[in-house]
Amino acid sequence: MQPLVISWVHLLYVLLFILVLYVGQLLFFYRKLQLRQYCLELNKRVVQLEDEVHALEQRLQGLQLGLMASAEVQIREEEISDTPYARAIKLAKAGTEVDVLIRECGLSRGEADLIMALYRAGKY
């Protein structure tokens, strides 16, 4: 059997190969560290966005409650304004005749005359 002879050139090739592997491993771990930091930043941003969405949802609920309350008030006002007297006032403001008020709203002659005197078109 012949002895194993390693020349300086072969030894340099082996050392260069080991050095390339080491640098490659360092680059791999550095990239992995960068990705981990990027993921942490993304997680922080997701948490911020979730908080913003939650705040917007609460604000939207408040606005919806306010809108529903104002809609209820408006419906009540419309119900109140649907009385025969309110309709007669609208008709008087539009300039209709006393006979129309009596016929359309079911008012007496005195009531219709009073409404016409108070709310006649052009006067109010």
pLDDT in tens, 98-112: 998 898 888 999 999
pLDDT in tens, 23-47: 999 999 999 999 999 999 999 999 9
d(CA 112, CA 96): 11
Please report the pLDDT score of residue 5 as a whole number. Answer: 80
Q: What is the pTM of this model?
A: 0.45
With beta carbons less than 8 A apart as the criterion, state whether 111 and 86 touch. no
With beta carbons less than 8 A apart as the criterion, state whether 91 and 105 touch. yes
With beta carbons less than 8 A apart as the criterion, state whether 121 and 93 touch. yes
Q: Where are the domains of the chain?
A: 11-81, 83-124
Q: CA gyration radius for the chain?
A: 44
User: Distances from the Cα of 15 to the Cαs of 4, 8, 24, 29, 59, in angstroms?
Assistant: 18, 10, 14, 21, 66
